[in-house]
Structure 1
Amino acid sequence: MDKKNSIERLILSRCSKYHDDGEVLKLLEDRYSVDSLQKSYMVLQSTDGGFTKAELLKSSSSRKRRKKKKESIFRSLIRPVEQKSGNNRHSKFYGKRTKNTFKQFIKQNLKLQKDTVKDPKCLDKLKDLAELPLCSKILKFEDFQEINRLWNNYAKELIGTTDSITVMTSKLSTCEFIGAFVEVTHSGCINNIGQKGIIIWESQHNIIIVVPRAGGWRSDISVTNPKYSYSELIGGLRIINKEGTRFKFRVNVDSESPTSTEEPCYIEFEIIGDRLMVRSIDRANKKFKNHAVRDIEL
């Protein structure tokens, strides 16, 4: 250590405890000597902070109880799912997501529809299939009529007062179709032709509609007693592929006038499923060109 240019010496000289340089030099020599009482390290001993061991255990247990009380609402919702699944790695980290919950809900309804028509002999004895307990859990067309009414108002405001069909089609091509009442006019699957229902979900390749009981093309033809299959009598959900399928829907363009006795005026549109094989999010920014398309089967 250079005592002449020592920082410690300068600091200690300004301290009021030491009166002359001799005391400062003596302190510095003892500070950096091996045999002196002053050491160049400090020993820290563990302390209990003034509490006994019993008090420390009591405080730690109270902190644990507080942590249990402050559990989040989301955690309390997904805990029953984790307990049912056991050591399932996915349920521990992901829990219940909206998308997975909706898929599970759709699968359960489709399974209920299949389980209902498994025993035809039992169904023949019933006058109304709605008496079955399983049918009460299947989605009903009547529950979605209010959504269809909201969609009609939405489509009517979207079209506006324009009379140009080109402007109407360009606006409707980018709109949301969930809630629209559609009819399948052409499809590669024969069973889908004539299906009518309200769209409740749309993806890139498929749509899901809820159909009424004992409804469809058989109720439109002039038949005194049309015969329906068990699946048509039950109703429920139908998954329809967009590829090779054409849908028809109509929009009420009349102004709301409760005193009017005339029939409402509708404009019918036809959707080509091959040209709508995009997600509804991407379709909002997609520009559809008005030209002939060769790969559409008419």
Structure 2
Amino acid sequence: MATEPEPFAQTLLARAHPPAVAKALYTERVVKRPLYIRATSPITSARATRRQTQNARKAKARARSALKPRPLSAAQKRALGLLEIPKAQQKYELYEGLHKLWAGYMVEILGLGGDGGKPFVTPASAGQQLASADMHGAIVEVVRSRCPSRVGLKGIVVRDTKFTFEIITAKNAVKAIPKEHTMFRYEVPVPKKEREEQKRPLVFEVLGEQFQTRGADRANRKFRIHYQPDL
């Protein structure tokens, strides 16, 4: 009867240890060696780790955004009356200070102030600044319109929307004037220097139909001079 060959590991141990010691080491260290097995031991790769990190970051961002209050819609603003000027604040003298601030703002963007101010203004040099300027506080007057009843209306701009100018007149009345098919005129006072007579203000006219942009959007928009068929 053929005997089974001795295991290779036991043969190696027998070369370094006596036969009894080699057999004992083989039995305890190899045959009876415990094998630990985990129920869940996934092999995570670098891509899986990045995906888990990104998902955790997105979950935290969604949790933070859920705590932030959402902005009111246009319908909610109208229902709360946030877009209306209270009757007690519909007074022309309350907005005269706003007009003075606007006049200083226009002098600054046109470069008319100081000793190095421009002697004159041309469409090529200041057309872009005039087209993108904020009109809140300007005193505008309707000089041309398809609706004859609007011609001659004049007041301080209290709200510049996409399609209308809301002005308050000297009679403390708030008027909403559509920009479409309407020509507006406004003046920019020129500051005088010492020992110099007061100069005439600069007069500009704006075609409202080509001005149908919100003030915030108009600041970053580029305008080009081109032919207007309505003129």
Q: Normalized against structure 2, the TM-score is what?
A: 0.60
Residue 139 of structure 2 corresponds to: 181
Q: CA deviation at 1:107?
A: 4.1
In structure 2, which of residues 102, 113, 124 is the aligned counterpart of residue 151 of structure 1? 102
C-alpha distance in 2, partners of 1:275/1:171? 15
Which structure: larger Rg? 2
| AA in 1 matched with 2:208 | G
Residue 286 of structure 1 corresponds to: 221
Residue 273 of structure 1 corresponds to: 208
C-alpha distance in 1, partners of 2:80/2:188? 30
Structure 1 stretches of 5 or more lacking a match?
Answer: 9-92, 113-136, 214-234
Q: CA deviation at 1:94?
A: 5.9
Residues 133-173 of structure 1: per-residue CA shift (max 9 Å, x gap) = xxxx2510000000100000000011113324121232111
**Are 2:26 and 1:4 equivalent residues in the alignment?**
no
In structure 2, which of residues 142, 165, 178 is the aligned counterpart of residue 241 of structure 1? 178
The answer to whether the Cα contact below 8 Å between 2:192 and 2:198 also exists between their aligned partners in 1 is no
C-alpha distance in 1, partners of 2:158/2:221? 22
Distance change in 2, residues 1:138/1:171 (3 Å): closer
Q: Map residues 98-117 of structure 1 onto 2, 5 A cutoff.
A: 100=77, 104-107=81-84, 109=86
Residues 82-101 of structure 1: per-residue CA shift (max 9 Å, x gap) = xxxxxxxxxxx868689827
Residue 88 of structure 1 corresponds to: none
- Tell me the percent identity: 25
Q: Map residues 126-165 of structure 1 onto 2, 5 A cutoff.
A: 137-160=88-111, 161-162=117-118, 163-165=120-122
Residues 47-81 of structure 1: per-residue CA shift (max 9 Å, x gap) = xxxxxxxxxxxxxxxxxxxxxxxxxxxxxxxxxxx
Residue 27 of structure 1 corresponds to: none
Number of positions where the alignment pairs a residue of Structure 1 with one of Structure 2? 162
Q: Map residues 120-131 of structure 1 onto 2, 5 A cutoff.
A: none
**Are 2:172 and 1:209 equivalent residues in the alignment?**
no
Q: Map residues 245-260 of structure 1 onto 2, 5 A cutoff.
A: 245-255=182-192
Other structure's SS at 1:204 match: coil
The answer to whether the Cα contact below 8 Å between 1:138 and 1:236 also exists between their aligned partners in 2 is no
Distance change in 2, residues 1:286/1:263 (3 Å): same
Residue 75 of structure 1 corresponds to: none
The answer to whether the Cα contact below 8 Å between 2:77 and 2:83 also exists between their aligned partners in 1 is no
C-alpha distance in 1, partners of 2:133/2:176? 21
C-alpha distance in 2, partners of 1:180/1:280? 13
| AA in 2 matched with 1:277 | Q
C-alpha distance in 2, partners of 1:269/1:287? 19
Structure 2 stretches of 5 or more lacking a match?
Answer: 1-30, 37-68, 112-116
